[in-house]
Structure 1
Amino acid sequence: MPLSQRTLEQGWTLTCARPRGAPALPDTIPATMPGTVHTDLLAARLIADPYLDLNEITVDWVGRCDWRYELEFEWQDDGADHVELVCPGLDTFAQIVLNGAIVGETANMNREYRFDVRGLLRAGANTLTILFESAWTRGEALAAQYEPRPNNYPGPANLMRKMACNFGWDWGPTLVTAGIWKPIRLESWSRARIASVRPEVTLEGADGRVRAHVDVEGGAGLRLRASVAGIVKELPVGAVLDLVVPSPALWWPHGLGSQPLYELVVDLLDEAGAVTDSWRRKIGFRSLRLDTAQDDKGTAFTFVINDTEVYICGANWIPDDCFLPRVTPERYATRIAQAKAANINMLRVWGGGIYETEAFYEACDAAGMLVWQDFLFACAAYPEEGDLPDEIEAEARDNIVRLMPYPSLVLWNGNNENIWGWFDWGWQDVLEGRSWGLGYYLDLLPRLVAELDPTRPYWAGSPYSGSMDIHPNDPAHGCSHVWDVWNEVGYEHYADSVPRFCSEFGWQAPPTWATLSQSVHDQPMTPTSPGVWHHQKATSGNDKLLRGLDGHLPAPGNMDDWHYATQLNQARAIRFGVEHWRSHRGTNMGAIVWQLNDCWPVTSWAAVDGYGRRKPLWYALRAAYHPHLLTIQPRGERLHVFAVNERTLFWRGPVTVKRVRFDGTVLAEWTHWRLCADRLDIAALAIPDDVAKPHNPRDEMLVATMHDSVAQYYFNEDVDLDLPEARADIVVARDGGDWLVTVTARSLLKDLCLFVDRIHPDASVDEMLVTLLPGESRVFRVSCAVELDAGMLGASPVFRCANQLVR
């Protein structure tokens, strides 16, 4: 009989099985599957929203209790030889009981478990119970089992296979979850089923090749059939299905080409040719390698796709919600669309989170969004004894096989910052020779990738230099993280080095005002009022925000100025670093900002805040990551204009550089009539001294233009500029369902933003951080559900520019 599936979705209840510090609760609570204890308690109005105010603290007891999920369901015997209970996502320590008999136990939220329940099911009514032990409780037992291992964050995440950021991070709350976070199902089958398919998808010359390794449980004497792009191959079970597709259309990262996908279907056939089980995925044909060759500057770190060196304009990705089932396919698609619109071409799935659901990778495939996938190790030492190695191997096998069909996935990375931690964070003295995870990163994981997914590169860590003989965060080798900037020094120090590839760097700012005011209700609201303070998880984060303004912007005198100044500083910091590194294209081949998204409303490094709203940083990234980047950068004693071209056609045209007084007077001008940046290349010109050197650095700037690209350069920081009083004319007009807001500058307006979420929380604007000289105009498209007028849009705190802060 063909394999059949039944998802057990409806009718679950939740009970507190061990009320460790819990208030009085009903005997049973309606539960949703997939879901978590927290979301079920929220739906039943038994806890306050932990994202609001200080509620995170008041719901801490939830993670310290044991919880029981129970389902009554009907089952009719269909005569199948096998019936399996399939649990792809149980969080985390669970005992499964069916009709009073223990089916099995789990200890890993990141892998699939299958249990044979044929002999336990009854015709008619059945009872399925899943008892979840608190991860805190199990963590206490594991801490007693393992000798101390360093961990940058409180909690036992490094002793178990659970999403590490559940226990809190410097941007995330401590909300220790439990529950059924992926749908549970019953699978019925006889004789045989497809256990897994591993498609190695490669290019050989102009042709695509698929080598499908199919594992079949049972199935002696049966056959397999695979088809893709009209090519069909049929072979006995146990053989590798090898299909050659003549000249397929290639899958490219967005901006370099299209993303054609082909459906690969593998069928399991009985002797009569009937399909008894089937597997299908969409695949893409592209070549891939990671160039880590030695050169005269150190060790390269360059992604080469379809024989093309791709400059990575990336962002780190964290779980988009603390409660994972709330991240729907639609939400994934929205967030990835936001990344693409910001000219981001790679998302790094960070190792303190999860292997994302299929919907994430499918959306990346469709969008041409490259994916760097960490294995789940972050900022801690991990024991290599006890049950942990077997769990880690099972988890890695599961997810390598699950994710390898997706063409967007281009790198497996061993860990986040753990090798760096062993070198620099005092671990060696604490460990006293005990294991800390190196065997996973240098032996187990690369061995599994080579066995299961040989078409993709593996890298041992982020950061990592490629050798334990070279410091892991040496910017001349491999990938590096830049965190002294922000933690210790100002953003001008991004210019101190040119990493071969920077896989983490970032600068903090609060969320949008609408998000902040929806999640914090302090009266009055200040940077240090209780709710705002609680939504700042970084050590000395608020102090660093203010210290980071030093030398750039004045210290803010009120909450509105603090909010704008810190958001502006975040945007400027990241744009400064990215433009510096991109001007060294060839030496540097990628930047992955920390971070794209947030999991809750918080002051953090994100470009898109926890309620999905774009911060000014998002607009700065869109500009800094633009495929045609024009930027003015110092080289030695001279200023140069750089044209950085990430398009597949050359970029050429006249470049004009003007030195302009803030009142709009052109003081000097120079045009080079034919600057040409070849495809995927860079071109540079030294700016003549009579243009590049100011008479009054407090009142002058450079403006470079090439076609529609504009670069601006100031000779001083804002605190040392004579910025005029901001004056502008504003005209508002309807355009369908949107508003067109025309701002005409009557004075220099530096980094103008219209914070329309101050008018309505759902309002948005298409552009921010716009600089206008006197007489220049810009039309802003605003989406807003209420009537807009010039008075509303022209006053602080909606109308903001740097002039207001300095004056």
Structure 2
Amino acid sequence: MTIFRYLLLLLTLASISPLAAQQRYELNSGWQAMPIAKVPAAGAQLSRPGYALTGWLPAVVPGTVLTTQLANKQVPDPFFGMNNERIPDIYRTGRDYYTYWFVKDFQEAPAAGDGQVWLHLRGVNYSCEVFLNGQKLNKQTHHGMFLRQAYNITPYLAKDGRNRLAVVVYPPDPVGNPNGGQGGDGTIARNVSTQYTAGWDWIRPIRDRNTGIWDKVTIEKTRAINLKNPHVITRVPGVRLPDGPQAPASLDVTAELENPTAKAVAGTLQYTIAGQLVKQAVTVPAHATKLVRMPAHTLASPRLWWPNGYGPQNLYALKMQFLTGGKTVSDEENLQVGVRQLGHVWNEHTQSMQVLLNGQKIFVKGGNWIISDAMLRFTKARYDAEIRFHRDMNLNLIRIWGGALVERPEFYEACDKYGLLVMQDFWVSGDANGRWVDPQKLEDQWTRRQYPNDHRLFINSAADQIKMVRNYASLGIWCGGNEITPPHDILTALQDSLLPRLDGTRWFIPFSNADSMSFNNQGGNGDGPYGIQPISQFWAHRTYPFNSEVGSVGVGDVESLERFLPAANLVAPRYLGASSKPTEQVDSMWTYHTYINYEQYLLPYGAPRNIKDFGLKAQLVNYDQYRALMEGFSSHMWDWYTGSIIWKTQNPWTAMRGQMYDYYLDPNACLYGLRSGSEPLHVMYNPVDSMVMITNNLFRAKRDLMLVVDAYDMAGKKTNITQVIVEAGPSMSKKFLPINSVVKQLGQQKGLFLSLQLQDLRKQVVSNNFYWLPDGRGEYSGLQNMPKTAVRATAHQTALGKIAVTLTNPSGAPVAFFNRLALVNPSTQKRILPVFYTDNYVSVLPGESKTVGLDYTPAAGQPAPVVSVEGWNVDKLLLPVAGAATK
């Protein structure tokens, strides 16, 4: 763009009259609630500002009945211990018990001139009646958890600006019997809502089935025209690289213009992006909504958006406005646009689909996501933290499981920011929707295959949710459901009508493990396994070529367990033997919190002596399991596999399985093992054939790399196995050299440590991998009797909220093994959460140092934190942070 054109654009924009100072605001405080049985008034009377709300409860909105009860201390925390059993379940109380009125008084003056005021409810579960100032806004009862509501409230605003909104919310119907099945007895799936609330194998039932105004309530002010549902499609032709000059990309943009007034309105729809202005003259008829297509636009030298590990996550600000009279803004919408093009192609060799982004093939390393919080307590900060953890695991995709919801816009904003592609399921699951014969289900398979009851509501909800999230660059794949398709008419509507018309750019999978996603010639497609496995299994056993669910254990350490288990239940499981049924003796509280057995896999480290010892040894297994899982898949990249998605990477409840961090956002060793195994450029050791391998996910070859392989015994004595110049081609995995004889000889008696490094020509380490290998009997006898080492450690603040910790191990000492760093409160010594570590559970070689970065948000008024360091053979250290002070 020339300087002249740029100045002209600035002058044009400066002449535009802005909207009122507060165009949109959220009604997120000051709500009150009461059970319907205790409210004698009807909605018309209750919603008048003069009606007294004596004795009403402060309500949580966005929230649910249960979150309001919890905030008012009417129920105990259902995430702790067995407290959930102390809360009445709606199946037994009846629906009226959890049917509540929610009331909010707010100030908003009547609109002047052609001004319009709109009320938006982004999510109510399950049905509701909405009243404002004595007037009922919805002519018919609203149904459906996933259908947004918008009301023009301009005629109903009070003349004095004092308004009252009253919403009565009814629970799902039926609520389902929480009989221990997946989705309970299955009938919760008759609704268009979340299915997990009746219980699953990773959660106990949510007692109110999440009844409430669970998502944002906002007031929006416009003039005559309401601009809504903008749609931006970016096209990036050809095969691109993240760096270097870029050929042009193009934008196709549409928007809906709603005119609620009695006369036609003429004006200009326009948007700006990258300093360029695109315009379209429009006339919108009275009482009509018009879809407007903007002129095609070309972006020269675009900054492209890439998934994590492949390139930067560039985003453009796009402002869209409707103007009348050439300069008066009627309404505007602001978007963040990632310029990228999605694609997919069938890989004949693997017999699975291959994801393409900007013309390049992407090896999928993903995690399955349930929901951020089982009680729907969503925040932008929590979304950001959780997606950042996924970025830190070197993953590039998150799949949203079908028993939950289409995630909130704030989730997608975080995925755009951190480069996580999203595979989004719609709301069915094989467990509840009839894929299998299941004696715990109330109705037969034929009946369950037709769930939900209202197919039109499902289709309308899908159309609405597609519009809500379709502009996010991270949204990559739509999926009909979890392990099953929706009913035929819904499936047809999705794939033949809704998605082509409302999106038209993304791959649609009929269900999560469909043959169109991957096909195993030995027996079709599938998923799993879900439990702990021998390390060699991940490398040697060929599973589904694009596995949508494969996972393992994930129990946290003792400090994590203490957050939700009473002291009396902090009892380590005891392995009873493979022939025993059950194989482990487990505290009943652990069973309630869905513990998955570690079986015999802790025993090679020595049977756990107590709960702290169990937690530590579980972390060793966690690290090894998830590093091996991703290394095993990566070692067969484009040969056996085009991707895998871990089941699962997080829990929205205090479950004890399949998690890289706990509900309270405290990471465990799973996260850092997965982080290592998922490195874009990664050196690794194949335990099956003892080959050293390199996997390179990047689009360019990496040349002049020095491969350094060293072994260390338990006393710290180093043996150099090899040092050789290597080259890693683009997007490949390759075997380089066998080290079986050396490893077997050195580790026969006590096991050994194996250090693998890739260094560049400046001796900078570009990939580092550190293994602990068992002795000839498969036990870690050397670790069990390993001498201690006195690590020197320092911590200093590098910026507000950022700390660098350096660990130094003396020369001649043994390896300082498996050190867990934590940022803690100096008074309580409890961990500050969340904290993001550049690495953790780190080992430091003799005579070497390692620096780990910590990133956190300081809390106002809190004392300066200290850093805790504790390792397998390193006594606990508490380090003051040089330069840190209270915020």
Shorter-chain TM band: 0.7 to 0.9
Give the structure 1 partner of residue 150 of structure 2. 114
- Residue 128, structure 1, aligned to residue 165, structure 2: yes
Query: Cα distance 1:606–1:36, how it changes in 2: closer, same or farther (>3 A)?
Result: same
Give the structure 2 partner of residue 209 of structure 1. 250
The alignment's C-alpha RMSD in Å is 3.9
How big is the shift at 1:698? 4.2
Query: Cα distance 1:386–1:362, how it changes in 2: closer, same or farther (>3 A)?
Result: closer
After TM superposition, list the pairs within 5 Å mapping 1:534-613 onto structure 2: 534=589, 536-537=591-592, 541-542=595-596, 544-546=597-599, 549=602, 553-587=605-639, 588-613=641-666
After TM superposition, list the pairs within 5 Å mapping 1:711-750 onto structure 2: 712=771, 714=773, 719-724=778-783, 725-737=785-797, 740-744=806-810, 746-747=813-814
- Residue 32, structure 1, aligned to residue 65, structure 2: no
Give the structure 1 partner of residue 174 of structure 2. 139
For 1:727, the aligned partner's letter is P
How big is the shift at 1:548? 5.2
For 2:88, the aligned partner's letter is D
- Residue 198, structure 1, aligned to residue 231, structure 2: yes
After TM superposition, list the pairs within 5 Å mapping 1:299-318 onto structure 2: 300-318=352-370
Give the TM-score, by structure 2 length. Answer: 0.76
Secondary structure of 2:466's counterpart equals: helix
How big is the shift at 1:2? 6.7
Give the structure 2 partner of residue 425 of structure 1. none
- Residue 227, structure 1, aligned to residue 272, structure 2: yes
Query: Cα distance 1:55–1:630, how it changes in 2: closer, same or farther (>3 A)?
Result: same
How big is the shift at 1:289? 0.5
- Residue 354, structure 1, aligned to residue 413, structure 2: no
The equivalent position to 1:319 in structure 2, one of 357, 366, 371, is 371
After TM superposition, list the pairs within 5 Å mapping 1:218-297 onto structure 2: 218=259, 221-237=266-282, 238-241=291-294, 242-293=296-347, 295-297=348-350
In 2: Cα distance, 1:504 partner to 1:405 partner: 27
Q: Deviations over 1:4-50 (max 9, x none)?
A: 55644443211022489xxxx99410123323222322332322222
Give the structure 1 partner of residue 462 of structure 2. 396
In 2, are the aligned partners of 1:107 and 1:160 still within 8 Å (CA)?
Answer: no
After TM superposition, list the pairs within 5 Å mapping 1:732-771 onto structure 2: 732-737=792-797, 740-744=806-810, 746-747=813-814, 751=818, 753=820, 760-762=829-831, 767-770=839-842
In 2: Cα distance, 1:181 partner to 1:113 partner: 13
In 2: Cα distance, 1:119 partner to 1:578 partner: 59
How big is the shift at 1:609? 0.8
- Residue 46, structure 1, aligned to residue 74, structure 2: yes
Query: Cα distance 1:797–1:483, how it changes in 2: closer, same or farther (>3 A)?
Result: farther
Give the structure 1 partner of residue 30 of structure 2. 11
Secondary structure of 2:410's counterpart equals: helix
In 2, are the aligned partners of 1:171 and 1:536 still within 8 Å (CA)?
Answer: no
How big is the shift at 1:445? 4.2
In 2: Cα distance, 1:734 partner to 1:775 partner: 16
Secondary structure of 2:745's counterpart equals: coil
Q: Deviations over 1:500-533 (max 9, x none)?
A: 2222221123234323212222326214799974
In 2: Cα distance, 1:94 partner to 1:519 partner: 34
In 1: Cα distance, 2:341 partner to 2:524 partner: 21
Q: Deviations over 1:165-220 (max 9, x none)?
A: 33333223422222222232344556432232222221246222111122222356
After TM superposition, list the pairs within 5 Å mapping 1:357-368 onto structure 2: 357-368=408-419
How big is the shift at 1:562? 2.3
In 2, are the aligned partners of 1:475 and 1:498 still within 8 Å (CA)?
Answer: no
Secondary structure of 1:213's counterpart equals: strand
For 2:196, the aligned partner's letter is C
Q: Deviations over 1:728-778 (max 9, x none)?
A: 222444432566444458446664546787982226776444456677665
In 2: Cα distance, 1:689 partner to 1:466 partner: 40
Give the structure 1 partner of residue 213 of structure 2. 180
Give the structure 1 partner of residue 497 of structure 2. 447
The equivalent position to 2:127 in structure 1, one of 87, 90, 93, is 93
In 2, are the aligned partners of 1:553 and 1:718 still within 8 Å (CA)?
Answer: no
- Residue 614, structure 1, aligned to residue 667, structure 2: yes
Q: Deviations over 1:526-554 (max 9, x none)?
A: 14799974354576x45x2235547x555
Secondary structure of 1:180's counterpart equals: coil
How big is the shift at 1:610? 0.6
In 2: Cα distance, 1:772 partner to 1:8 partner: 52
Give the structure 2 partner of residue 103 of structure 1. 137
The equivalent position to 1:71 in structure 2, one of 101, 104, 109, is 104
In 2: Cα distance, 1:790 partner to 1:348 partner: 34
In 2: Cα distance, 1:66 partner to 1:385 partner: 24
Query: Cα distance 1:19–1:58, how it changes in 2: closer, same or farther (>3 A)?
Result: farther
In 2, are the aligned partners of 1:89 and 1:181 still within 8 Å (CA)?
Answer: yes
Bigger CA drift: 223-232 or 181-190? Answer: 181-190
For 2:697, the aligned partner's letter is E
Q: Give unmatched runs, 5+ long, in structure 2.
A: 1-17, 40-52, 239-246, 283-290, 434-447, 575-584, 760-764, 798-802, 856-862, 879-887
After TM superposition, list the pairs within 5 Å mapping 1:604-753 onto structure 2: 604-633=657-686, 638-652=689-703, 653-658=705-710, 662-663=714-715, 669-671=721-723, 673-687=724-738, 690-691=741-742, 694=745, 697-701=748-752, 703-707=755-759, 708=765, 709-710=768-769, 712=771, 714=773, 719-724=778-783, 725-737=785-797, 740-744=806-810, 746-747=813-814, 751=818, 753=820
In 2: Cα distance, 1:621 partner to 1:85 partner: 44
Give the TM-score, by structure 1 length. Answer: 0.83
Query: Cα distance 1:385–1:699, how it changes in 2: closer, same or farther (>3 A)?
Result: closer
Secondary structure of 2:427's counterpart equals: coil
Give the structure 2 partner of residue 405 of structure 1. 471
- Residue 493, structure 1, aligned to residue 537, structure 2: yes
In 2: Cα distance, 1:793 partner to 1:781 partner: 21
Query: Cα distance 1:669–1:33, how it changes in 2: closer, same or farther (>3 A)?
Result: closer
Secondary structure of 1:255's counterpart equals: coil
Give the structure 2 partner of residue 482 of structure 1. 528
Give the structure 1 partner of residue 859 of structure 2. none
Secondary structure of 1:706's counterpart equals: strand
In 1, are the aligned partners of 2:25 and 2:220 still within 8 Å (CA)?
Answer: yes
Q: How many corresponding residue pairs? A: 756
Query: Cα distance 1:656–1:245, how it changes in 2: closer, same or farther (>3 A)?
Result: closer
Query: Cα distance 1:491–1:566, how it changes in 2: closer, same or farther (>3 A)?
Result: same
Q: Deviations over 1:431-468 (max 9, x none)?
A: xxxxx63543465345321221111111122112218x
Secondary structure of 2:168's counterpart equals: strand
Secondary structure of 2:598's counterpart equals: helix
In 2: Cα distance, 1:448 partner to 1:499 partner: 30
Secondary structure of 1:301's counterpart equals: strand
Q: Deviations over 1:210-257 (max 9, x none)?
A: 111222223564442233223333224354112222221111223322
Identity score, percent? 21
In 2, are the aligned partners of 1:86 and 1:114 still within 8 Å (CA)?
Answer: yes
Give the structure 1 partner of residue 87 of structure 2. 59
In 1, are the aligned partners of 2:721 and 2:742 still within 8 Å (CA)?
Answer: yes
In 2, are the aligned partners of 1:522 and 1:531 still within 8 Å (CA)?
Answer: no
Bigger CA drift: 394-403 or 335-344? Answer: 335-344
In 1: Cα distance, 2:758 partner to 2:608 partner: 36
In 2, are the aligned partners of 1:515 and 1:601 still within 8 Å (CA)?
Answer: no
Query: Cα distance 1:756–1:576, how it changes in 2: closer, same or farther (>3 A)?
Result: same
Query: Cα distance 1:752–1:280, how it changes in 2: closer, same or farther (>3 A)?
Result: closer
For 2:74, the aligned partner's letter is L
Query: Cα distance 1:236–1:65, how it changes in 2: closer, same or farther (>3 A)?
Result: same
